[in-house]
A and B are shown apart, each in its own frame.
Chain A
Amino acid sequence: MQAMLEEVIRVVPGFWGLIASLAVLWVGQALLVLVMLKRRRECLSLEDKAIAGEWSHVAAAGLPSYLPTVLSGIAPILGSGIWAATLESARALILTPPEVPPSIRSEHISLGLGGTLNVIPWGIYFLVPSLLMAATSIGLALTVYLRRRRIATAARMAQSDPSAALAVLGHRVPSADNVAAILLAFVLFGVFPVLLGAFNHALELIRALAASSSLTSGEDRRQAWLIAFARTRTAFASRAELAWPGTALATAIAIAMVVRWRRQRPPTTTPPSLSWPFSIFWSMQCLLVAMVCFMIAAPYRAENHLPWPPVQGMFLATEQPNNPPLEGPDGVEPAPVLQLTPTDAHLDGRTVDVAELRRELETAKHNYFLLQPNQPYLGRFIVLCSADTSADRLSSFLLAAYRTGHRSAVFTFTKREDFRRPILGQFHRMASTGATTTLVIDSASQSVRQPSVSVVQARAFPTYGELSRELVILRRAGKEVRVGL
């Protein structure tokens, strides 16, 4: 438990500030509920005085200020704002741009994931009592408003006709106190399904993240994440959709209560009701806030509904200049990347010449066996090459690789894919496809006579542009391709 709490404190941005500000809000809201309860008591005593005919007391009592009611409405909005700001800080860490050094970026992403997934349930822990307190205090404020309005009407009539004034008050209309119950029904049936869905969504994602950390392959982890995303999203949506019938139910409860108030009253009395200006003003406010909510939600809705491009296959970090505009039939798996142009050569981003390439690949192979002594070494590597690189130059590098036991060359073609998301903005990635081949030296290639195997002599082509076209044609025809060096 302690370890879990320490983890939450570590990953949630500004944890103590968040807790302190939300605690202050909670205390403030509790005080507002107490203020409203006190007002209700005062109002009931005023009603008693009016029924007893002490109209001078009634006339002397001023109307209560609107400020506590407004504050009761603002408090959960303010709390949600603080929650959202914390969530945004955690999200910003996940969105650390790729230009940031990889070690710092991965640390940021890890912190951001933990932060995002913890802030959501913690925010819901805060928001639930906050909404309940807001509904209670606003409900009580409306109750007081309804009663005070009735008392004021009676007081005006009392000067000319005291018996008619008493008839207006008539009875206490107990269900007028249930305005708080109406608001609580809206919170309970209209908002809670979404909060419950979000809570489960975050917990399920934490579980999926923990489970996927045991997978060693990046591709497996990616697929596990995609499955978890699809599953948790469906569960979240199905819970959140309950808010529609829930709101309808709360509306039905509210209407039933209003009808009950009217039926309960003796025929001669005035039912507690809202004034037209009050009703119109607050209806407009509700609709205005609803419109703002829809407008803020619009880009998020667009973002959530827009599908992502598929993520199968490998995406390379760099673009190869003058890469042949081809699409290979084979997938590309992670392996050392040899990049060649007529003037430069790089292995995994480091500049190499033929001798250095050989040394580096020897080391890579050696390290592989140190780390995984019981696993076979596939000797696979990726070749990214400019179309204008001469086949002679390419062959000399491939030969060096061949001599270190790297005989499975995946000639790879990149395609830049650009796409834009409504909120997350511009993305670009280098999708890759390949033509898988086996390197052979000239003498070995001569001995091949199988129809499913094609041997291509690399040096028979002037440049990689021509060679690569031939390789792709053969692989597409389903041939096993061997490249003679």
Chain B
Amino acid sequence: MTRQLLLIASFSILVLAAGNLLFHYLLFSEQVMRSIMFR
């Protein structure tokens, strides 16, 4: 049971980290667009 839980817990962290990266990477497009106003 512990072995399965260990894998599930680390996979959950991976999913959260991937989601966080996806969110910030895609939101960065907005910053790129905003930068037009400053160049």
Contacts and interface: CB of A to CB of B under 8 A. Distances in A.
Contacts of B38: 308-309, 311, 315, 427, 429
| Chain B facing A: main interface SS | helix
Interface in A140-182: 182
A291 B17 contact: yes
Interface in B1-39: 1, 3-39
B32 A95 contact: yes
Nearest to A424: B35
B21 A87 contact: no
A232 B34 CA distance: 13
Given A95-B32, A273-B3, A273-B4, A304 B10 contact: no
A429 to B, nearest CB: 6
Contact of B22 (A198, A222, A290, A311): A198
Interface string A75-107: 000000000100100010011011000000000
Nearest to A240: B23
Interface string A211-246: 000000000001001000100110011001001100
A247 B37 contact: no
Contacts of A117: 29
A184 to B, nearest CB: 12
A201 B32 CA distance: 14
A290 B10 contact: yes
Nearest to A292: B17
Interface stretch (A2-10, A276-284, A331-339, A355-363): A276-284
A297 B24 contact: yes
Nearest to A423: B28
Contacts of A24: none
Given A195-B22, A293-B17, A296-B21, A282 B30 contact: no
A286 B14 CA distance: 6
Contacts of B18: 191, 289-290, 293
A275 interface: yes
B23 A95 contact: no
A254 B12 CA distance: 10
A368 interface: no
Contacts of A304: 24, 27-28, 30-31
B39 A286 contact: no
Nearest to B16: A247
A238 to B, nearest CB: 11
Given A258-B4, A293-B14, A427-B38, A190 B28 contact: no
B4 A300 contact: no
Nearest to B39: A98
Contacts of A244: 16
Given A240-B19, A279-B4, A116 B27 contact: no
B32 A294 contact: no
B19 A87 contact: no
Most central of A193, A275, A304, A308 by chain B CB within 10 Å = A304
A274 interface: yes
Given A229-B34, A255-B5, A243 B24 contact: no
A438 to B, nearest CB: 31
A198 B9 CA distance: 26
A32 B31 CA distance: 38
Q: Would you list the 9 A-B pairs with minimal beta carbon distance, nearest first?
A: A290-B17, A293-B17, A279-B3, A300-B24, A286-B10, A283-B10, A190-B15, A297-B21, A286-B14
27 contacts: A116-B29, A116-B33, A120-B26, A198-B22, A198-B23, A236-B23, A237-B23, A243-B15, A244-B16, A251-B12, A254-B8, A258-B1, A262-B1, A275-B3, A283-B10, A290-B16, A293-B17, A293-B20, A294-B17, A300-B21, A300-B25, A300-B28, A308-B34, A311-B38, A315-B38, A424-B31, A427-B39
